[in-house]
Amino acid sequence: MSTEQWVPTTAHWGAYQATSDGDGGVRVRPHPDDPAPSPLLGNVPGIARHDTRVLRPAVRRGWLLGGPGPSAQRGRDEFVEVDWDTALDLVAAQLDRVRNESGNEAIYGGSYGWSSAGRFHHAQSQLHRFLNTIGGYTASRNNYSFGTSQVLLPHVVGSAAAVLGYADSWATVREHADLIVAFGGLPTKNLSVSPGGVSRHTSAAAAADPGVAVASISPLADDVPAGGRWYSIEPGTDVAMQLALAHVLLTEDLHDTEFLSRCCTGFDVFAAYLLGSSDGVPKTPEWAAEICGIAAADIRELARRMPTGRTLVTVTWSLQRTRGGEQPVWAGIALAAMLGQIGLPGGGFGHGYGSMAEVGADGPVLHLPTLPQGSNPVSSFIPVARIADMLLDPGAEFDYNGQRLTYPDIRLVHWAGGNPFHHHQDLTRLRRAFARPETVVVHETHWTATARHADVVLPATTTLEREDLGAGRRDTHLTAMHRVLDPVGEARDDYAILAGLAERLGVRQRFTEGRGARGWLEHLYEKWRAPLVQQGHDLPDFDIFWRLGEVKLPAMPEDPPLVRFRRDPERERLHTPSGRIELFSETVDSFGYEDCPGHPVWLPQERRAPLHLIANQPPTRLHGQGDVGAVSRDSKVAGREPITLHPDDAAARGITDGTVVRVFNDRGACLAGARLSDRVRPGVAVLPTGAWFDPQPDPRRPGQDLCAHGNPNVLTEDIGSSRLSQGCAGQRTHVDVEPATEPLPEVAVRTPPPLRRG
């Protein structure tokens, strides 16, 4: 029987309300003030309770019997369930042994991943704080989302935040912009999501129907908003189109020379490249049309239109999640600089409209309550997407942002709140990499592929089973996240798990500071509130906040850095060597990287299979989270992840709608369910990320596995975006597709791995 106590909570897909269904499960409904609630809400009941919840601590049999050591059995072995004391004793003993024998550098604690919303129980922050109290760990830098831009932007505009942290709100864009030129389109499917959530989905509502003319450049018609024009582009060729647009502005004298000389440096070098005086190739619309598949006349017409009003040039994050990913971002900035509107409302350069709810959201830029993580005495780190290289090749050197670094020798991997067997590329290679350490510890709510590749799996609660404070960056409200359910099985909060380890390592007091979880919530809230109240903001104390369920975040009016810079470039210098926007960077040039020279360039891409595969964000879930929920389950085709093919490409291969296909290239293969649509460009296939990795013998390739479920990361290449940024390059790859032949392996990943009671 339902108790009908609806309480507030939030998730990466936004604030909502939940109630217990009286039967151990949960019911959900949108926040009453949300103009565009997320469809992902429909996954929640199915994730909270599912057969794949981890119920008890579990230890891989081979590791339990044989002790720590490299093992190719990870991901293939059965598990033995043990009690909490046994599990925590085992993990604490290994942490202690590894730090004593090999130093804390041998512990990899990067632990990348989205975990859940909630400022206190954020698993990765908890783990970092814990590892810092026991002497530190090898860390990771940057993210999978826009890791390439995080390294590039400081060289071009002085900081990543100048672009990523201060996007104009959609309200400002709608008021001032006449035209949005959107490379990567404005896919609304992405806009219900933001790290920490948004309380009101204003971006999703605005992007779906912007009320501004939009030129949407993408291989997919679904990326085009209402009223927008679709420029169907060949994947990976946006830079050619951007250069041609710039070429027209330059040769027809439509560029803003005043802005370029007052606020930028290096335009002369870039202009010489556009004209072909530096490489013999003028970047004309005719040149670009051959590469990108958009008619020269269309490019010319668009270029001539851009300077006639306020124009926002946007680039989705997807465009930089690829080899040479710096180029479309830098070229987009150069294009916006030539229009001279950077720093004007609704104009200039935007990065991530169409990628995430926070970009274009209304919320203030301000600090939220945050768990202090302490400091890490270990200096070794990797750019986050170099995980497999590090595990496979300790001691090897690699390039990163002008430095030559060395991979540390990792003995123990500790992961909480992430799923590398979702997020990383070339999962067959990642399996080899995960065979190398002596011990892999994973905290998980569910039996994800990463949990299945661990030696010790510690069951974590979900947000619904605990209390927290929730808000995203650029959010409008802070949510009091109430508890709805009892912990499932013997699951514990990550905080409690780590406190148990800290106790065994003699640092419990340092880790907990003597507080329980509720004590921390009050402490973090009050510490955050005090200075704001001093500044005159009206914020209730913790008890009232908790009863109200949410508070409005105070506005912090501050002009964005690029607005201030535009007004007075001499006094508001950017943190670049020249103090200006660098269209040519002497610093980047001095690194001598052929895959990221000193100004934006066209870098042709090699291709070894006939179809482009776009492995974009799934419309039906958050990454791998929610794959067992109703929305994701309902989207499957013949039980597999849907792959969308153009009808011509399907016909040429004898593939019909609704049938199972085998998607393959020289790295790997997976099964998927075919969907035919002329809303994808011919020659392009779309297989979103996030179907739980389900490796099983490939009937076509003896001795090798395929993913029976449709995870595209068995196909993507595990390579850095460039020597500069070493970012994730997983957005696209090349494949072929064929009808699958019987017998078809069943999807096995929706039931737990073999478990025995210890």
216 binds, among ligand MGD, Mo ion, none (CB under 5 to 8 A by kind): none
User: Pick from 307, 730, 745, 753: which binds ligand MGD (CB under 6 A)?
Assistant: 730
Q: What is the dihedral of CA 457, 463, 467, 473, to 10 degrees?
A: 120
Shorter beta-carbon distance to ligand MGD: residue 408 or 487: 487
Residue 300, contacted partner among Mo ion, ligand MGD, none, CB below 5-8 A by kind: none
| Active-site residue set | 112, 114
How far, in Å, CA of 620 to CA of 638, rounded? Answer: 16
**Contact flag: residue 145 with Mo ion (CB under 5 A):** yes
The least distance separating ligand MGD from the CB of residue 113, rounded to whole angstroms, comes to 3
What's the closest the beta carbon of residue 557 comes to ligand MGD, in angstroms? Answer: 28
The CA angle 484-489-492, to the nearest 5 degrees, is 70
Nearer to ligand MGD, 154 or 184 (CB): 184
Is the Cβ of residue 451 or residue 480 nearer to ligand MGD in the bound state? 451
Q: Which of 284, 617, 632, 725 binds ligand MGD (CB under 6 A)?
A: 617
How far apart (Å, rounded) are the C-alpha atoms in residues 181 and 333? 12
Of 26, 302, 460, 661, the one binding ligand MGD (CB under 6 A) is 460
Of the residues 31, 200, 443, 566, which one makes contact with ligand MGD according to CB under 6 A: 443
218 near ligand MGD, judged by CB under 6 A: yes
What minimum distance in Å lies between the beta carbon of 22 and ligand MGD? 24
| Minimal distance, residue 326 CB to ligand MGD, in Å | 14
Question: What angle is formed at CA 638 by the lines to CA 44 and CA 627, rounded to 5 degrees?
Answer: 20
Size of the site for Mo ion (CB under 5 A): 1
- Return the number of other C-beta atoms located less than 10 Å from residue 518's C-beta: 13
| Measured CA distances, 632 to 46, 628, 641, 692 (Å) | 10, 7, 9, 11
Residue 105 phi, psi (nearest 5): -60, -25
668 binds ligand MGD (CB under 6 A): no
Neighbours of 485 (CB within 10 A): 20
| Stretch near ligand MGD under the rule CB under 6 A, chosen from 87-95, 232-240, 367-375, 660-668 | 232-240
Site size for ligand MGD, by CB under 6 A?
63
Instruction: Output 200 or 529, the one with its CB closest to ligand MGD.
Output: 200
Give min distance, CB of 523 to ligand MGD, in A.
20
Phi, psi angle pair for 337, to nearest 5°: -65, -40
Beta carbon of residue 427, minimum distance to Mo ion (angstroms, whole number): 17
Applying CB under 6 A, which of residues 416, 488, 628, 707 lies at the interface with ligand MGD?
A: 416
For residue 263, give the nearest of 582, 558, 561 by alpha carbon: 582
DSSP 126-157: HHHHHHHHTT--BEEES-TTTHHHHHHHHHHH
| 293 CB neighbour count, 10 Å cutoff | 19
Q: Give all strands (DSSP E) within 576-633, no chain letters.
A: 581-582, 611-614
| CB 232 within 8 Å of CB 215 | no
Q: Which does 655 bind (CB under 5 to 8 A by kind): ligand MGD, Mo ion, none?
A: none
Whole-angstrom distance, CA of residue 493 vs CA of residue 495: 5
- State which of residues 103, 165, 610, 619 lies at the interface with ligand MGD (CB under 6 A): 619
Provide the β-strand partners of residue 644: 675, 686
> At which residue do the structure tokens 């009286």 appear?
22
- Of 189 and 640, nearer to ligand MGD (C-beta) is 189
Tokens 């202690």: give the residue: 96
Choices 251-259, 264-272, 415-423, 640-648 (CB under 6 A): range interacting with ligand MGD: 415-423
How near is the Cβ of 67 to Mo ion at its closest, in Å? 37
By beta-carbon proximity to ligand MGD, the closer residue of 189 and 636 is 189
Stretch near Mo ion under the rule CB under 5 A, chosen from 119-127, 140-148, 438-446, 666-674: 140-148
Shortest distance (Å) from residue 34 CB to ligand MGD: 16
Applying CB under 5 A, does 242 fall inside the site for Mo ion? no
Determine the Cα–Cα distance for residues 398 and 141; give it in Å rounded to an integer: 14
715 binds, among ligand MGD, Mo ion, none (CB under 5 to 8 A by kind): none
Kindly state the DSSP code that residue 486 receives in the 8-state scheme.
P
Q: Which residues contact 236 (CB under 8 A, 6 or more apart)?
A: 322, 605, 612, 732
Interaction of residue 142 with ligand MGD, rule CB under 6 A: no
Q: Which does 616 bind (CB under 5 to 8 A by kind): Mo ion, ligand MGD, none?
A: ligand MGD
**Residues 266-305 within binding reach of ligand MGD (CB under 6 A):** none
Characterise 611 by phi-psi region: left (phi > 0), alpha (psi -120 to 50), beta (else).
beta
Contact between residue 615 and residue 716 where contact means Cβ atoms under 8 Å apart? yes
How far apart CA 197 and CA 352 sit, in angstroms, is 16
Q: Looking at beta carbons, which residue is closest to Mo ion? A: 145
Smallest separation, CB 618 to ligand MGD (Å): 5
Quick check: 145 binds ligand MGD (CB under 6 A)? yes
* CB-based burial label for 362 (10 Å; 0-12, 13-18, 19+): middle
CB of 423 to Mo ion, least distance (A): 8
Verify binding: residue 749, ligand MGD, rule CB under 6 A: no
> Pairing between strand 477-481 and 468-470?
antiparallel
- Which residue of 20, 169, 202, 316 would you call a contact of ligand MGD, by CB under 6 A? 316
CB of 641 to ligand MGD, least distance (A): 12
Neighbours of 509 (CB within 10 A): 11
Count the Cβ atoms, other than its own, within 10 Å of residue 757: 7
Q: Which is nearer to ligand MGD, 163 or 193 (CB)?
A: 193
> Which position among 160, 329, 622, 737 is part of the footprint of ligand MGD (CB under 6 A)?
622
Least distance from ligand MGD to the Cβ atom of residue 733, Å: 8
* Nearer to ligand MGD among residue 156 and residue 193 (C-beta): 193
Helix (H, G, I), strand (E, B) or coil at 437: coil
271 or 484: CB nearest ligand MGD: 484
Place of tokens 């679904």: 222
Which residue, 163 or 263, has its beta carbon nearer to ligand MGD? 163
Nearer to Mo ion, 145 or 401 (CB): 145
Cβ distance to Mo ion smaller for residue 145 or 476: 145
* Residue 185, Ramachandran bin (φ over 0: left; ψ between -120 and 50: alpha; else beta): left
327 binds, among Mo ion, ligand MGD, none (CB under 5 to 8 A by kind): none
Amino acid identity, residue 60?
R
DSSP H stretches of helix in 158-232: 161-164, 170-176, 202-208
Question: According to CB under 6 A, which one of 144, 287, 398, 664 is a site residue for ligand MGD?
Answer: 144
**Cβ neighbours of residue 584 closer than 8 Å, sequence gap 6 or more:** 265, 266, 267, 268, 269, 270, 598, 599
In sequence order, what are the beta bridge partners of 492? 460
Pairing of strands 412-416, 107-108: parallel
Q: Minimum distance from CB of 96 to Mo ion (Å)?
A: 34
418 binds ligand MGD (CB under 6 A): yes
For β-strands 684-686 and 611-614, DSSP reports them as parallel
Q: Judged by CB under 6 A, does residue 618 bind ligand MGD?
A: yes
Site membership for ligand MGD, residue 355 (CB under 6 A): yes
Q: Are 323 and 732 contacting, i.e. CB atoms less than 8 angstroms apart?
A: no
Contacts of 702 by beta carbon, 8 Å cutoff, 6+ apart = none
Q: Which residues bind ligand MGD (CB under 6 A)?
A: 113-116, 121, 123, 144-145, 183-185, 187, 189-190, 193, 217-220, 223, 233, 235-236, 238, 316-319, 321, 355-356, 416-419, 422-423, 443-446, 448, 460, 462, 494, 614-619, 622-625, 689, 712-713, 716, 728, 730-732
Q: Which residues bind Mo ion (CB under 5 A)?
A: 145
